[in-house]
Chains A and B, each alone.
Chain A
Amino acid sequence: MTAIDASAPPERLEWQLAQVRDIVAETYRVKSFMLEPVNWTGHLPGQHVDIRLTAEDGYQAQRSYSIASPSEDKLLTVTVERVTDGEVSPYLLDELRIGDRLELRGPIARHFVWTSGSSGSLCLVAGGTGITPLMAMLRHRDRSSCHTPTVLIYSARSRADIVYREELEGMARHDTNLAVIYALTREQAKDWAGHRGRIDRPLLAANCFPPAQNPAIYVCGPTDFVESVAGVLVELGYDPLSIKTERFGPSGGLSHGK
Protein backbone atom coordinates (compact mmCIF):
# COMPACT_ATOMS: atom_id res chain seq x y z
CA MET A 1 0.00 0.00 0.00
CA THR A 2 1.14 3.50 -0.58
CA ALA A 3 0.86 6.91 0.93
CA ILE A 4 -1.63 6.08 3.67
CA ASP A 5 -0.21 6.44 7.11
CA ALA A 6 -1.95 3.57 8.83
CA SER A 7 -0.95 4.80 12.25
CA ALA A 8 -2.61 8.22 11.98
CA PRO A 9 -5.79 8.47 14.09
CA PRO A 10 -8.96 8.50 11.99
CA GLU A 11 -10.29 12.02 11.62
CA ARG A 12 -13.70 12.76 13.01
CA LEU A 13 -15.76 13.16 9.86
CA GLU A 14 -18.61 15.61 9.75
CA TRP A 15 -21.81 15.28 7.77
CA GLN A 16 -21.91 17.45 4.70
CA LEU A 17 -24.39 18.05 1.93
CA ALA A 18 -23.88 16.70 -1.56
CA GLN A 19 -26.00 17.67 -4.52
CA VAL A 20 -27.17 15.03 -6.98
CA ARG A 21 -25.76 16.07 -10.34
CA ASP A 22 -26.63 13.07 -12.45
CA ILE A 23 -28.42 9.75 -12.20
CA VAL A 24 -27.61 6.79 -14.44
CA ALA A 25 -29.62 3.58 -14.70
CA GLU A 26 -27.00 0.86 -14.79
CA THR A 27 -29.41 -2.09 -14.89
CA TYR A 28 -33.09 -2.57 -14.24
CA ARG A 29 -32.45 -2.59 -10.51
CA VAL A 30 -29.28 -0.57 -10.12
CA LYS A 31 -28.66 3.14 -10.44
CA SER A 32 -25.57 5.27 -10.06
CA PHE A 33 -25.74 8.70 -8.48
CA MET A 34 -23.13 11.34 -9.29
CA LEU A 35 -22.77 13.63 -6.31
CA GLU A 36 -21.09 16.93 -5.69
CA PRO A 37 -20.25 17.29 -2.00
CA VAL A 38 -19.80 20.75 -0.58
CA ASN A 39 -16.38 20.05 0.82
CA TRP A 40 -14.76 16.86 -0.43
CA THR A 41 -11.17 16.29 0.48
CA GLY A 42 -10.57 13.35 -1.83
CA HIS A 43 -10.66 9.59 -1.39
CA LEU A 44 -8.87 6.37 -2.25
CA PRO A 45 -10.36 3.63 -4.42
CA GLY A 46 -12.20 1.15 -2.23
CA GLN A 47 -13.38 3.59 0.42
CA HIS A 48 -17.00 4.27 1.14
CA VAL A 49 -19.37 7.01 2.35
CA ASP A 50 -22.18 7.01 4.85
CA ILE A 51 -25.42 8.52 3.59
CA ARG A 52 -28.07 9.73 5.97
CA LEU A 53 -31.73 10.45 5.21
CA THR A 54 -33.95 12.46 7.52
CA ALA A 55 -37.74 12.51 7.24
CA GLU A 56 -39.79 15.57 8.15
CA ASP A 57 -40.76 13.97 11.45
CA GLY A 58 -37.11 13.56 12.37
CA TYR A 59 -36.87 9.87 11.56
CA GLN A 60 -33.42 8.98 10.25
CA ALA A 61 -31.96 6.15 8.26
CA GLN A 62 -28.30 5.71 7.46
CA ARG A 63 -26.48 3.39 5.08
CA SER A 64 -22.96 2.94 3.77
CA TYR A 65 -22.16 2.83 0.08
CA SER A 66 -18.85 2.18 -1.62
CA ILE A 67 -17.56 4.96 -3.79
CA ALA A 68 -17.58 3.75 -7.39
CA SER A 69 -15.70 6.67 -8.89
CA PRO A 70 -11.93 6.99 -8.88
CA SER A 71 -10.26 9.89 -7.11
CA GLU A 72 -9.54 11.37 -10.54
CA ASP A 73 -13.24 12.08 -11.14
CA LYS A 74 -14.69 15.43 -10.27
CA LEU A 75 -17.96 13.97 -9.00
CA LEU A 76 -18.46 11.24 -6.43
CA THR A 77 -20.37 8.22 -7.69
CA VAL A 78 -22.29 5.76 -5.55
CA THR A 79 -24.06 2.81 -7.11
CA VAL A 80 -27.16 1.45 -5.41
CA GLU A 81 -29.11 -1.74 -5.97
CA ARG A 82 -32.81 -2.03 -5.20
CA VAL A 83 -33.60 -4.16 -2.19
CA THR A 84 -37.26 -5.23 -2.13
CA ASP A 85 -38.99 -3.76 0.91
CA GLY A 86 -35.88 -1.82 1.74
CA GLU A 87 -36.19 1.53 3.36
CA VAL A 88 -33.40 3.49 1.76
CA SER A 89 -32.82 1.98 -1.68
CA PRO A 90 -36.43 2.54 -2.87
CA TYR A 91 -36.08 6.17 -1.82
CA LEU A 92 -32.83 6.61 -3.69
CA LEU A 93 -33.96 4.74 -6.77
CA ASP A 94 -37.51 6.05 -7.05
CA GLU A 95 -37.70 9.41 -5.34
CA LEU A 96 -34.30 11.11 -5.50
CA ARG A 97 -33.90 13.61 -8.34
CA ILE A 98 -31.12 15.60 -9.91
CA GLY A 99 -30.81 18.75 -7.85
CA ASP A 100 -31.79 17.10 -4.56
CA ARG A 101 -29.24 17.07 -1.79
CA LEU A 102 -28.11 14.20 0.38
CA GLU A 103 -26.19 14.20 3.63
CA LEU A 104 -23.01 12.19 3.50
CA ARG A 105 -19.76 11.79 5.31
CA GLY A 106 -16.55 10.19 4.26
CA PRO A 107 -14.35 8.84 2.96
CA ILE A 108 -14.37 5.95 5.37
CA ALA A 109 -12.23 2.87 5.86
CA ARG A 110 -8.60 2.38 4.92
CA HIS A 111 -8.31 -1.36 4.98
CA PHE A 112 -9.94 -2.04 1.64
CA VAL A 113 -7.96 0.34 -0.54
CA TRP A 114 -5.83 -0.12 -3.64
CA THR A 115 -3.91 2.49 -5.58
CA SER A 116 -1.92 2.21 -8.77
CA GLY A 117 1.34 2.82 -6.94
CA SER A 118 1.10 -0.69 -5.50
CA SER A 119 3.40 -3.20 -7.04
CA GLY A 120 2.49 -6.73 -7.99
CA SER A 121 -0.52 -8.22 -9.70
CA LEU A 122 -4.13 -7.75 -8.70
CA CYS A 123 -7.07 -10.15 -8.30
CA LEU A 124 -10.52 -8.68 -7.82
CA VAL A 125 -13.47 -10.92 -6.97
CA ALA A 126 -16.95 -9.38 -6.97
CA GLY A 127 -20.31 -10.80 -5.92
CA GLY A 128 -23.27 -8.75 -7.16
CA THR A 129 -22.97 -5.10 -6.17
CA GLY A 130 -19.66 -5.97 -4.55
CA ILE A 131 -18.35 -4.78 -7.91
CA THR A 132 -18.70 -1.17 -6.77
CA PRO A 133 -15.51 -0.54 -4.81
CA LEU A 134 -13.59 -2.76 -7.21
CA MET A 135 -14.86 -0.58 -10.05
CA ALA A 136 -13.37 2.44 -8.31
CA MET A 137 -10.07 0.58 -8.29
CA LEU A 138 -10.35 -0.39 -11.95
CA ARG A 139 -11.34 3.12 -13.00
CA HIS A 140 -8.41 4.54 -11.06
CA ARG A 141 -6.11 1.98 -12.67
CA ASP A 142 -7.43 2.98 -16.08
CA ARG A 143 -7.15 6.74 -15.46
CA SER A 144 -3.61 6.45 -14.18
CA SER A 145 -2.59 4.38 -17.22
CA CYS A 146 -1.43 1.68 -14.91
CA HIS A 147 -0.59 -1.68 -16.46
CA THR A 148 -0.56 -3.87 -13.38
CA PRO A 149 -1.66 -7.34 -14.45
CA THR A 150 -5.23 -7.52 -13.21
CA VAL A 151 -8.04 -10.02 -13.29
CA LEU A 152 -11.63 -9.32 -12.30
CA ILE A 153 -13.88 -12.29 -11.55
CA TYR A 154 -17.43 -10.99 -11.30
CA SER A 155 -20.40 -13.05 -10.22
CA ALA A 156 -23.86 -11.79 -11.22
CA ARG A 157 -27.28 -13.36 -11.64
CA SER A 158 -27.41 -12.88 -15.39
CA ARG A 159 -25.96 -10.80 -18.21
CA ALA A 160 -28.64 -8.17 -17.59
CA ASP A 161 -27.45 -7.88 -14.00
CA ILE A 162 -23.83 -7.10 -14.85
CA VAL A 163 -23.28 -3.54 -13.72
CA TYR A 164 -20.85 -1.40 -15.77
CA ARG A 165 -20.71 -4.15 -18.38
CA GLU A 166 -19.90 -1.99 -21.40
CA GLU A 167 -17.30 -0.05 -19.50
CA LEU A 168 -15.62 -3.20 -18.22
CA GLU A 169 -15.54 -4.74 -21.66
CA GLY A 170 -14.14 -1.52 -23.09
CA MET A 171 -11.36 -1.50 -20.51
CA ALA A 172 -10.51 -5.14 -21.18
CA ARG A 173 -10.47 -4.59 -24.93
CA HIS A 174 -7.90 -1.81 -24.65
CA ASP A 175 -5.71 -3.38 -22.06
CA THR A 176 -4.06 -6.75 -22.56
CA ASN A 177 -3.10 -6.69 -18.89
CA LEU A 178 -6.71 -6.73 -17.76
CA ALA A 179 -8.95 -9.81 -17.91
CA VAL A 180 -12.63 -9.73 -16.99
CA ILE A 181 -14.35 -13.01 -16.25
CA TYR A 182 -18.03 -13.37 -15.44
CA ALA A 183 -19.76 -16.13 -13.55
CA LEU A 184 -23.52 -16.01 -14.14
CA THR A 185 -25.56 -17.88 -11.59
CA ARG A 186 -28.97 -17.72 -13.28
CA GLU A 187 -28.39 -16.96 -16.94
CA GLN A 188 -30.71 -18.92 -19.19
CA ALA A 189 -29.50 -17.75 -22.60
CA LYS A 190 -28.04 -20.59 -24.65
CA ASP A 191 -25.42 -18.37 -26.25
CA TRP A 192 -23.70 -17.65 -22.98
CA ALA A 193 -20.29 -19.24 -23.36
CA GLY A 194 -18.90 -18.16 -20.02
CA HIS A 195 -19.05 -19.77 -16.62
CA ARG A 196 -22.47 -20.79 -15.35
CA GLY A 197 -23.09 -21.00 -11.65
CA ARG A 198 -21.25 -19.63 -8.66
CA ILE A 199 -17.61 -18.79 -8.52
CA ASP A 200 -16.01 -22.08 -7.59
CA ARG A 201 -12.60 -23.46 -6.88
CA PRO A 202 -11.75 -24.42 -10.47
CA LEU A 203 -12.71 -20.96 -11.74
CA LEU A 204 -10.56 -19.23 -9.15
CA ALA A 205 -7.68 -21.62 -9.68
CA ALA A 206 -7.80 -21.13 -13.42
CA ASN A 207 -8.02 -17.34 -13.40
CA CYS A 208 -6.30 -15.86 -10.38
CA PHE A 209 -2.58 -15.22 -10.60
CA PRO A 210 -0.79 -18.13 -8.93
CA PRO A 211 -0.06 -17.91 -5.19
CA ALA A 212 3.65 -17.83 -5.96
CA GLN A 213 3.15 -14.40 -7.54
CA ASN A 214 1.58 -13.19 -4.33
CA PRO A 215 -1.10 -11.04 -5.97
CA ALA A 216 -3.05 -8.48 -3.98
CA ILE A 217 -6.57 -9.87 -3.64
CA TYR A 218 -9.78 -7.96 -2.97
CA VAL A 219 -13.06 -9.79 -2.45
CA CYS A 220 -16.31 -7.88 -2.08
CA GLY A 221 -19.95 -8.89 -1.94
CA PRO A 222 -22.55 -10.43 0.37
CA THR A 223 -21.13 -11.94 3.53
CA ASP A 224 -21.65 -15.59 2.52
CA PHE A 225 -20.04 -14.97 -0.83
CA VAL A 226 -17.00 -13.34 0.68
CA GLU A 227 -16.50 -16.05 3.32
CA SER A 228 -16.83 -18.79 0.75
CA VAL A 229 -14.46 -17.23 -1.80
CA ALA A 230 -11.89 -16.28 0.83
CA GLY A 231 -12.03 -19.82 2.18
CA VAL A 232 -11.37 -21.32 -1.24
CA LEU A 233 -8.52 -18.91 -1.89
CA VAL A 234 -6.84 -19.90 1.34
CA GLU A 235 -7.27 -23.55 0.40
CA LEU A 236 -5.64 -22.79 -2.94
CA GLY A 237 -2.59 -21.54 -1.10
CA TYR A 238 -3.02 -17.74 -1.05
CA ASP A 239 -1.66 -15.92 1.97
CA PRO A 240 -4.64 -14.86 4.11
CA LEU A 241 -2.92 -11.55 4.78
CA SER A 242 -2.95 -10.75 1.10
CA ILE A 243 -6.73 -11.25 0.87
CA LYS A 244 -8.71 -8.11 1.68
CA THR A 245 -12.44 -8.44 2.11
CA GLU A 246 -15.46 -6.15 2.28
CA ARG A 247 -18.77 -7.69 3.29
CA PHE A 248 -22.19 -6.31 2.43
CA GLY A 249 -25.44 -7.24 4.04
CA PRO A 250 -27.10 -7.74 7.41
CA SER A 251 -24.16 -9.33 9.13
CA GLY A 252 -21.62 -7.24 7.28
CA GLY A 253 -20.88 -3.57 7.43
CA LEU A 254 -21.98 -2.08 4.17
CA SER A 255 -25.45 -2.12 2.74
CA HIS A 256 -25.30 -1.43 -1.00
CA GLY A 257 -29.03 -1.48 -1.09
CA LYS A 258 -31.60 -2.04 1.63
Chain B
Amino acid sequence: MANNFSDLLLGGDAGAHLVQQIFAPDVTLARIRCDACKGETGIGALTLYAAPMGAVLKCCDCDNVLMRVADTPHGLWLEMSGALNVRF
Protein backbone atom coordinates (compact mmCIF):
# COMPACT_ATOMS: atom_id res chain seq x y z
CA MET B 1 0.00 0.00 0.00
CA ALA B 2 1.46 3.33 -0.96
CA ASN B 3 1.44 6.23 1.44
CA ASN B 4 3.54 9.25 2.27
CA PHE B 5 6.15 8.29 4.90
CA SER B 6 5.63 11.32 7.17
CA ASP B 7 1.89 10.77 7.34
CA LEU B 8 2.38 7.12 8.09
CA LEU B 9 4.84 7.79 10.88
CA LEU B 10 2.53 10.33 12.47
CA GLY B 11 -0.32 7.89 12.12
CA GLY B 12 1.60 5.24 14.04
CA ASP B 13 2.19 2.92 11.09
CA ALA B 14 4.37 -0.04 12.11
CA GLY B 15 6.44 -0.03 8.91
CA ALA B 16 7.28 3.64 9.26
CA HIS B 17 8.17 3.16 12.91
CA LEU B 18 10.45 0.31 11.88
CA VAL B 19 12.50 2.75 9.81
CA GLN B 20 12.53 5.58 12.36
CA GLN B 21 13.72 3.39 15.21
CA ILE B 22 17.03 2.86 13.46
CA PHE B 23 17.93 6.53 13.39
CA ALA B 24 18.54 8.91 16.26
CA PRO B 25 17.40 12.11 14.52
CA ASP B 26 13.94 12.51 13.02
CA VAL B 27 14.23 10.55 9.80
CA THR B 28 11.36 12.39 8.10
CA LEU B 29 13.53 15.53 8.08
CA ALA B 30 16.49 13.74 6.46
CA ARG B 31 17.26 14.00 2.76
CA ILE B 32 18.23 10.94 0.77
CA ARG B 33 20.02 10.87 -2.59
CA CYS B 34 19.25 8.08 -5.06
CA ASP B 35 22.32 6.29 -6.41
CA ALA B 36 20.56 5.50 -9.68
CA CYS B 37 19.16 8.85 -10.81
CA LYS B 38 21.07 11.05 -8.30
CA GLY B 39 17.86 12.84 -7.38
CA GLU B 40 17.43 14.00 -3.77
CA THR B 41 14.19 13.97 -1.78
CA GLY B 42 13.06 14.31 1.79
CA ILE B 43 12.52 10.91 3.34
CA GLY B 44 9.18 12.15 4.66
CA ALA B 45 7.91 12.43 1.10
CA LEU B 46 8.81 8.91 0.06
CA THR B 47 6.29 6.17 -0.42
CA LEU B 48 6.50 3.27 2.00
CA TYR B 49 5.81 -0.31 0.91
CA ALA B 50 5.73 -3.84 2.16
CA ALA B 51 4.87 -3.87 5.82
CA PRO B 52 4.43 -6.32 7.56
CA MET B 53 7.37 -8.18 5.97
CA GLY B 54 9.51 -5.09 6.21
CA ALA B 55 9.73 -1.47 5.11
CA VAL B 56 10.79 -0.48 1.60
CA LEU B 57 11.37 3.10 0.50
CA LYS B 58 11.60 3.83 -3.21
CA CYS B 59 12.82 6.79 -5.19
CA CYS B 60 9.87 8.95 -6.31
CA ASP B 61 11.55 9.72 -9.62
CA CYS B 62 13.05 6.47 -10.82
CA ASP B 63 11.52 3.83 -8.53
CA ASN B 64 14.93 2.56 -7.40
CA VAL B 65 14.88 0.97 -3.94
CA LEU B 66 16.60 3.42 -1.58
CA MET B 67 16.25 1.83 1.79
CA ARG B 68 14.95 -1.41 3.24
CA VAL B 69 14.39 -2.39 6.85
CA ALA B 70 13.23 -5.70 8.31
CA ASP B 71 12.76 -6.67 11.92
CA THR B 72 13.45 -10.35 12.58
CA PRO B 73 13.96 -12.40 15.73
CA HIS B 74 17.64 -12.48 14.87
CA GLY B 75 18.10 -8.80 14.43
CA LEU B 76 16.99 -5.59 12.83
CA TRP B 77 18.28 -5.33 9.26
CA LEU B 78 19.02 -2.17 7.31
CA GLU B 79 20.03 -2.01 3.68
CA MET B 80 20.66 1.26 1.87
CA SER B 81 22.75 0.28 -1.14
CA GLY B 82 20.34 2.12 -3.45
CA ALA B 83 21.12 5.44 -1.77
CA LEU B 84 24.22 7.46 -2.44
CA ASN B 85 23.90 9.16 0.93
CA VAL B 86 21.54 10.42 3.60
CA ARG B 87 21.86 13.90 5.09
CA PHE B 88 20.36 14.62 8.51
Direct A–B touching in the complex (beta carbon < 8 Å)? no
Binding site for A on B (CB under 8 A): none
Binding site for B on A (CB under 8 A): none
